[in-house]
């Protein structure tokens, strides 16, 4: 008998089906990946299994856990099963953990509620669990509140609370999507190590994660199952074209088809840029500490780093959106100073930005046509309304949106469509430099590919220079000519695409590359070679800021800040770049 059997599960909201006739089974101890794009019904399925669907959801079919039918089961029965027999890890632990209760108490309550342990015995078991999930100094973390932990630590605590009652089934819904890639690798390894006999249903959009951590996989699209099989089988010979498309769209590190950049004039130069923010207590937070970056026409430069690396601050300072403490920005031969509103019209026209959140960067009260036309209104005030509309229509067309989109409001667009509008708004000014700040991070694989292709076409047509800020190395591999890797506000490595991916010199770059999950079950990648997390920018480590996490650190690394120098085609800041 299967541990979990879902049969003909159908979930609908107000007549709109979210999941249609979904059937699958899970055996004891098995790890199964549930893969699909956003809106495909992955999370709805998980919620249905746990009995957490909202009251207005119409559910039919059958979900059996062992012998027990879960659909229509009493709240009392479900409550007894949850945590004890099946548990869930959510994407955002900050939302899933109670902010007013200490971590230790939250875990202890689970044990007490289900009568699994009492008194001091419960406390010991919680302490034990916290140690096993790798929370350093478990005694102190027992008393910590969720907001006092970092994102990675919080997800560890979440994992501890899911596994403390030793459930038979663990459902993890995008458990690492909000985390940096090195932390993601740590958490996934931990999950693998701890779960032992617990069956795992891993919901994710990332095929790399499935390839590395699941024995079997289910692919769903538009609420229906399109394919299932062992992970190896599905990756080697996808039966359904949707699966094939997903696999083809999955980002990879092992190849790129980006042509070499032709030599061209420099359009933007950032020299010795430094950005500081003043914290509430008056402490200075040095987000960027002296970074140089130059970019030529027709070239794409990727700026990579984990959160807190200063990659966004660097570029926003160059654009004049945040104040620069020191340093120089030269755009097409003229120096740019001060905040963006005081800069010359020409430079404002020439430097454009596309944001991460496509919907948030469009004014919700304006129609698509006015959003795109607004920048024209500012820079070419002489044109007539008709000419502007024509121009806007042509631009949207170029970005893949037909005339029917002109009169829509942003909330009527999908993420990909909204991002196309944002790109059209930027490109209509014919900028010299386009900055994409995590511009594809919020998009599904296939949509992401389309947007990247759109940007590349724009670049080929007009010699646009693109700065691509991202934490996703697969995107870097796919789009960039050169790559700047940042850590704690400083350059660690700068190299061209091929050099960096073939032989990174800096241990941090290497660790990043090893941590990326690869959509190939034979060589899944995703190895956690770094311990710990990025230290606080308020008290950066001495010497090389990376030394506390570096596997190659020597005494000199803690004492001296490494200088940037050229090693094997890379500009790298590491004392031991030659030896390792």
Partner 1 sequence: MTTFANILRRVRKSRAVLISGGLLLGIVVAAIAGPALSPHDYLQTNFNELLQRPATTGFRFFGTDDLGRDLFVRSMLGVQVTIIVAIVASVVSLVIGVTYGAVAGYFGGRVDALMMRFVDTLYALPFIFFVILLMVAFERNFLLIFVAIGAINWLDMARIVRGQTLSLREREFVDAARLTGVSAPRIIFRHIAPNLIGVVIVYVTLTIPQAILVESFLSFLGLGIQEPQTSLGALVDAGVNQMEGASWMLLIPAALLATILLCFNFLGDAMRDVFDARDAQ
CB 247 within 8 A of CB 72: no
When the beta carbons of 164 and 319 are compared against partner 1, the nearer one is 319
Q: Is 469 helix (H, G, I), strand (E, B) or coil?
A: strand
Q: Rounded to an integer, what distance in angstroms lies between the CA atom of residue 1 and that of residue 3?
A: 7
Q: Rounded to an integer, what distance in angstroms lies between the CA atom of residue 569 and that of residue 159?
A: 42
CB 579 within 8 A of CB 502: no
Q: In angstroms, what is the minimal distance from the CB of 340 to partner 1?
A: 5
Q: Rounded to an integer, what distance in angstroms lies between the CA atom of residue 532 and that of residue 530?
A: 7
Q: In angstroms, what is the minimal distance from the CB of 355 to partner 1?
A: 5
When the beta carbons of 3 and 351 are compared against partner 1, the nearer one is 351
Q: In angstroms, what is the minimal distance from the CB of 239 to partner 1?
A: 38
When the beta carbons of 203 and 353 are compared against partner 1, the nearer one is 353
φ/ψ of residue 308, rounded to 5: 85, 5
φ/ψ of residue 26, rounded to 5: -130, 135
Q: In angstroms, what is the minimal distance from the CB of 48 to partner 1?
A: 22
When the beta carbons of 49 and 421 are compared against partner 1, the nearer one is 421
Q: Rounded to an integer, what distance in angstroms lies between the CA atom of residue 40 and that of residue 206?
A: 14
Judge residue 222's burial from the number of C-beta atoms within 10 Å of its C-beta, 0-12 exposed, 13-18 middle, 19 or more buried: middle
Which positions touch partner 1 (CB under 8 A)? 319, 321, 340-341, 345, 348-349, 351-353, 355, 357, 360-366, 374-375, 378-379, 409, 411, 422, 425-426, 429
Which of these, 500, 471, 489, lies nearest to 545 by C-alpha position?
Answer: 489
When the beta carbons of 319 and 479 are compared against partner 1, the nearer one is 319
When the beta carbons of 36 and 358 are compared against partner 1, the nearer one is 358
When the beta carbons of 7 and 374 are compared against partner 1, the nearer one is 374
Q: In angstroms, what is the minimal distance from the CB of 421 to partner 1?
A: 11
Which tokens belong to 336? Answer: 């740019």
Q: In angstroms, what is the minimal distance from the CB of 15 to partner 1?
A: 16
When the beta carbons of 360 and 551 are compared against partner 1, the nearer one is 360
Q: In angstroms, what is the minimal distance from the CB of 351 to partner 1?
A: 7
Q: In angstroms, what is the minimal distance from the CB of 542 to partner 1?
A: 34
Complete DSSP assignment for 246-303 = HHHHS--SS---PPPPPP--EEEEEEEEEEEEE-TTS-EEEEEEEEEEEEETT-EEEE
CB 477 within 8 A of CB 251: yes
CB 65 within 8 A of CB 86: yes
When the beta carbons of 34 and 353 are compared against partner 1, the nearer one is 353
When the beta carbons of 93 and 320 are compared against partner 1, the nearer one is 320
* Residue 566: DSSP 8-state: E
Pairing of strands 199-204, 31-35: parallel
CB 500 within 8 A of CB 467: no
Q: Rounded to an integer, what distance in angstroms lies between the CA atom of residue 150 and that of residue 93?
A: 10
Q: In angstroms, what is the minimal distance from the CB of 329 to partner 1?
A: 14
* Residue 373: DSSP 8-state: H
Which tokens belong to 50? Answer: 């746990």
Q: In angstroms, what is the minimal distance from the CB of 366 to partner 1?
A: 8
When the beta carbons of 272 and 377 are compared against partner 1, the nearer one is 377
CB 316 within 8 A of CB 291: no
CB 443 within 8 A of CB 249: no
Q: In angstroms, what is the minimal distance from the CB of 415 to partner 1?
A: 14
């Amino acid at each position: 008998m299967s541990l979990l059997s879902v049969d003909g599960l159908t979930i609908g909201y107000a007549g709109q089906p979210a999941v249609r006739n979904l059937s699958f089974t899970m055996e004891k101890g098995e790890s199964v990946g549930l893969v699909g794009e956003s809106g495909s019904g992955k999370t709805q399925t998980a919620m249905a299994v746990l009995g957490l669907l909202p009251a207005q959801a119409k559910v039919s079919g059958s979900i059996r856990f062992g012998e027990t039918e879960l659909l229509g089961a009493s709240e009392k029965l479900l409550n007894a099963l949850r945590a004890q027999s099946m548990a869930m890890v959510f994407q955002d632990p900050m939302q899933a953990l109670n902010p007013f209760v200490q971590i230790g108490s939250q875990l202890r309550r689970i044990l007490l509620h289900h009568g699994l342990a009492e008194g001091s015995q419960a406390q010991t078991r919680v302490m034990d669990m916290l140690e096993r999930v790798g929370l350093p100094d478990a005694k102190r973390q027992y008393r910590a509140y969720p907001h006092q932990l970092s994102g990675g630590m919080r997800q560890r605590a979440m994992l501890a609370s899911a596994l403390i009652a030793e459930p038979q089934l663990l459902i993890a819904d995008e458990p690492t999507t909000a985390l940096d890639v090195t932390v993601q690798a740590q958490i996934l390894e931990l999950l693998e190590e701890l779960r032992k006999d617990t069956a795992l249903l891993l919901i994710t959009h990332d095929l790399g994660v499935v390839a590395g951590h699941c024995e079997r996989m289910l692919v769903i699209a538009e609420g229906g199952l399109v394919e299932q099989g062992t992970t190896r089988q599905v990756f080697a010979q996808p039966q359904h074209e949707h699966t094939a498309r997903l696999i083809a769209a999955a980002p990879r590190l092992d190849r790129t088809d980006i042509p070499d950049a032709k030599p061209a004039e420099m359009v933007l130069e950032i020299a010795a840029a430094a950005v500081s923010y003043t914290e509430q207590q008056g402490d200075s937070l040095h987000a960027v500490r002296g970074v140089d970056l130059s970019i030529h026409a027709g070239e794409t430069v990727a700026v990579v780093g984990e959160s807190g690396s200063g990659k966004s601050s660097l570029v926003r300072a160059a654009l004049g959106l945040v104040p620069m403490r020191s340093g120089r920005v030269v755009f097409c031969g003229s120096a740019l100073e001060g905040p963006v509103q005081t800069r010359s019209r020409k430079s404002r026209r020439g430097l454009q930005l596309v944001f991460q959140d496509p919907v948030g960067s469009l004014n919700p009260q304006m129609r698509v046509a006015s959003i795109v036309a607004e920048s024209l209104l500012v820079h070419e005030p002489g044109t007539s309304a008709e000419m502007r509309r024509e121009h806007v229509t042509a631009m949207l067309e170029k970005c893949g949106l037909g005339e029917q989109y002109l009169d829509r409001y942003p909330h009527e667009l999908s993420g990909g469509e909204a991002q196309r509008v944002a790109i059209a708004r930027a490109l209509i000014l014919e900028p010299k430099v386009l900055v994409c700040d995590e511009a594809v991070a919020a998009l599904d694989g296939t949509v992401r590919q389309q947007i990247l292709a759109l940007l590349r076409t724009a670049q080929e047509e007009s010699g646009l220079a693109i700065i691509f800020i991202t934490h996703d190395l697969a995107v870097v591999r796919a789009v960039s000519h050169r790559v700047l890797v940042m850590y704690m506000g400083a350059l660690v490595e700068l190299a061209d695409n091929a050099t960096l991916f073939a032989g990174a010199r800096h241990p941090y770059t290497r660790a990043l590359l090893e941590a990326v999950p690869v959509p190939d079950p034979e060589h899944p990648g995703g190895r956690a070679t770094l311990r710990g997390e990025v230290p606080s920018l308020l008290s950066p480590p001495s010497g090389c800021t990376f030394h506390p996490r570096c596997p190659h650190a020597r005494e000199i690394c803690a004492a001296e800040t490494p200088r940037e120098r050229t090693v094997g085609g890379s500009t790298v800041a590491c004392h031991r770049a030659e030896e390792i």
